[in-house]
Structure 1
């Protein structure tokens, strides 16, 4: 299935219309279908009017109850997967104000209990020093002062021991010099320091580690309900359970090749020392 950002908003309306028309062609009422699918009639009405987007399980229940032909099942499932995907473009974020994106991230972090970050290219804001954050936003054509402040405020979530964080960083992500070497040494020291927090696991994947898959994208998985993937021009938000499971599988693959605790801190100390020299 080709991912066209322009399709993503329309796909929710298309899915709602398709499910509504399938029910009507089958000669079934909302009450009958809701009972067969063990969902409320209100929820089904909201699905058919695109007020809520059904998950793949709900769609499968509806298709099964309506005895949909197999060729239509595949088409509707593909549409449901697309409807559970959202494109957030960089230009849109710039227009709205980058600090609003920080508020959205803070909301996701507040709701989640288990957060996993795969960082193949750069350090994430939760682990970053103020100088690193400012440098990482240097390409933005808008005022970033409020965004820097919001990113620093978000770091307080790391000290919430009701949450569990795992950060996987490649050597490139840690040593990529978007700031001067002396400042990069301080950034690396901060990562090592945060690895001592009881609810924060920081894994380091050194260059030369034999990993079978290339590190293509930065991504974050919130519990098992949402995954966000970063690209140069924006981010993709996945809510389909299969997409989330796929990203978790990739995360666990890299996690098995990462160094943690003392082994990770030993490497971090070595890299910080190299920056200072």
Structure 2
């Protein structure tokens, strides 16, 4: 089964219906199935009505309890993985208003304690100056002023010392000239300044660093429960523990090659001076 974005929205309902049908075929009530799985009956009910999305572990427990054949287990596991993946097209964000998207991101950031951001192309809004943010929204419709304001409001989370941030940026991401040279120098200085905060680690990957795995896309991992991947046309949200683990492993590989602390600040000073 291929990852078809159009199917992602349907897979949750498909999974719920499939599990409900299998339980009925097995002649089990929700109560009896819940006992076999050592979960509550209400959880089984919510899974079967698509009120909640079961994890792959939940699905495996249910299928084992129903003694489903191996070929069916494999097929439903793929469906479960799709159900734990969400495609969010950028046009949908435009229709709802980009400032609403900022509120959603603020909620994710408020709920997480450890955030890891890999930035291979540009600087994220959390680290950006107002001028850089405005430039990054040049091709976005709607009220840009409101979105800029919301992005700047989100930056307050950086000063919450109960949270820990690791930002990994390639040299291209830092030096990509989204704004005129004097403003780029100020933007790069801001990165150096934020790197002094006790709960923020800013790592740089300079050009020439030997890493066999190419930087394919921007991604963020919130604790170990959620990963988001961004493209030109939208973002994919992963809740499957295996997808999250794979992104954490990729992040670790880049982190091991990144420069932090005074070494990173020296690089930032050098790059800022090139724009002055």
Question: Partner of 2:43 in structure 1?
Answer: 43
SS in 1 for 2:177: coil
Structure 2 residues without counterparts, runs of 5 or longer:
none
Distance 1:172 1:3 in 2: 30
Question: Partner of 1:53 in structure 2?
Answer: 53
Question: Partner of 1:202 in structure 2?
Answer: 202
Distance 1:158 1:142 in 2: 27
Distance 2:211 2:63 in 1: 40
Q: TM-score by structure 2 length?
A: 0.99
Question: Partner of 1:65 in structure 2?
Answer: 65
Distance 2:94 2:253 in 1: 34
Alignment of 1:145-164 (within 5 A): 145-164=145-164
Distance 1:266 1:136 in 2: 26
Shift of 1:261: 0.3
SS in 2 for 1:115: strand
Question: Partner of 1:132 in structure 2?
Answer: 132
Question: Partner of 2:81 in structure 1?
Answer: 81
Deviation sequence 1:91-111 (CA, Å, 0-9, x none)? 110010000000000000000
Question: Partner of 1:252 in structure 2?
Answer: 252
Alignment of 1:201-240 (within 5 A): 201-240=201-240
SS in 1 for 2:68: coil
Distance 1:223 1:108 in 2: 10
Shift of 1:143: 2.0
Shift of 1:33: 0.6
1:119 aligned onto 2:131 = no
Distance 2:219 2:206 in 1: 19
Distance 2:58 2:223 in 1: 20
Alignment of 1:81-120 (within 5 A): 81-120=81-120
Give the root-mean-square deviation of aligned CA atoms: 0.6
Shift of 1:252: 0.3
Shift of 1:45: 0.5
Deviation sequence 1:76-125 (CA, Å, 0-9, x none)? 01000000111111111001000000000000000000000000000000
* Residue correspondences, number: 276
Q: Which piece of structure 1 moves more, 11-20 or 21-30? A: 21-30
Distance 1:168 1:73 in 2: 38
Shift of 1:141: 2.3
Q: TM-score by structure 1 length?
A: 0.99
Distance 1:21 1:9 in 2: 20
Shift of 1:28: 1.1
Distance 1:269 1:224 in 2: 33
Structure 1 residues without counterparts, runs of 5 or longer:
none
Question: Partner of 2:14 in structure 1?
Answer: 14
Question: Partner of 1:184 in structure 2?
Answer: 184
Q: Which piece of structure 1 moves more, 131-140 or 1-10? A: 1-10
